[in-house]
Amino acid sequence: MRKTFLAAIAVLAGSLGFARAEDMTTVRAATLKIGTVNWELATIEANAFDKQNGFDLVIQEYADNAATRIAVEGGEADIAVADWIWVARQRAAGKDYVFIPYSRAVGGLVVPEGSNAETLADLKGAKIGIAGGPLDKSWLILRAYAQQEYGMDLAAETEQVFGAPPLIMKSGMSGETQGAINFWHFMAKMKAGGMRELISVDEAAKALGLNPETPLLGYYMKESFIAEHPGIADQLYAASRASKELMLESDAAWEAVRPMMNAQSDAQFAALRADYLAGIPADAPVDEAAADKFLRLMADLGGAELVGDATTLPPGLFVEPK
């Protein structure tokens, strides 16, 4: 009787498009416990989008980004999330890393509620809080934009305060700084708390002739892992898109991940949801000419400290969706 039951389950699983367990590739994802990619990965797991696409997702939590990178490099994990500029730098240095787009969320610069500032030029002499350090990509783009639009050296004509995202959020909300650049999810919370976006990185990128649709964040993995498991990049991409499509239309999917979002109010939850969805990239190949232009700008602004030897786009960096 038990064998008959298991056989029936196997037939049902096959009819639903699930691969047999022994045929599935295990994909170990190295993540931060508080990382926003967990919202997508949890949705993939909860809805079996991994199984439907022929792999078994295993989430491995680490303490910081450095640990996730060491895990992938050392073979303790198969994928992690990073911005493609960093992945390009690794590839230019000889590592066989490739990139699958995940998000184009980048953020902008916000000012306190009641600020009279209307443009970056109005922040001359102001104190700006910046998460991510002097080589933060949003900061570099806004510096280039200020120079182009106002002839303003934003670094020389403002005072910068660099710190961890929670500190930058706190100092911005309290008015200790007159402007703030933060990671996108902290920016969403700051806007929910009354801060106003002075300029978005999208707006600045367009003015600089860049394509703001170029995804910034993505999953990276070794080409050798793809070679050992043919089709796995396409399977991961398909599961990621299935998660995104569900989150675009399902309130229940968002309620399921709300406990891990650290939203302290309905306003924060709504802002995080809206900005996450706004950051979903197009289901299309990355415009490599636009990415190359962006990388060249980052090389000009950040130098080798930011891009290493990746002064132009390394061939084969982006995995094409199929």
Q: For position 301, which CATH number holds? A: 3.40.190.10
pLDDT for 14 = 46
Same domain, 87 and 234: yes
pLDDT along the chain (322 residues), means of 10: 36 48 87 94 98 97 95 98 97 97 90 96 97 93 96 97 96 96 96 96 94 94 96 97 98 97 96 96 94 96 96 94 73
- Whether 321 maps to a domain, the answer reads no
Count how many domains the chain has.
Answer: 2
Q: Which amino acid is at 26?
A: T
Give the whole-angstrom CA distance, residue 313 versus residue 67.
Answer: 26
- Whether 316 maps to a domain, the answer reads no
Q: What is the pTM of this model?
A: 0.89
Same domain, 198 and 224: no
- Whether 314 maps to a domain, the answer reads no
Containing domain of residue 233, as a range? 2-104+213-307
Q: Computed from CA positions of residues 59, 64, 69, 75, in that sequence, does the dihedral angle turn out positive or negative?
A: negative
Domain end residue (candidates: 154, 181, 207): 207
Give the whole-angstrom CA distance, residue 216 versus residue 102.
Answer: 8
Find the distance separating the first CA and the last CA of the chain, reported in whole Å. 42
- Whether 312 maps to a domain, the answer reads no
pLDDT for 320 = 81
Same domain, 98 and 9: yes
Contact status, residue 177 vs residue 98, Cβ threshold 8 Å: no
- Whether 280 maps to a domain, the answer reads yes
pLDDT for 136 = 94
- Whether 322 maps to a domain, the answer reads no
Same domain, 128 and 97: no
- Whether 318 maps to a domain, the answer reads no
- Whether 177 maps to a domain, the answer reads yes
Domain end residue (candidates: 182, 207, 232): 207
Domain end residue (candidates: 207, 234, 262): 207
Same domain, 302 and 258: yes
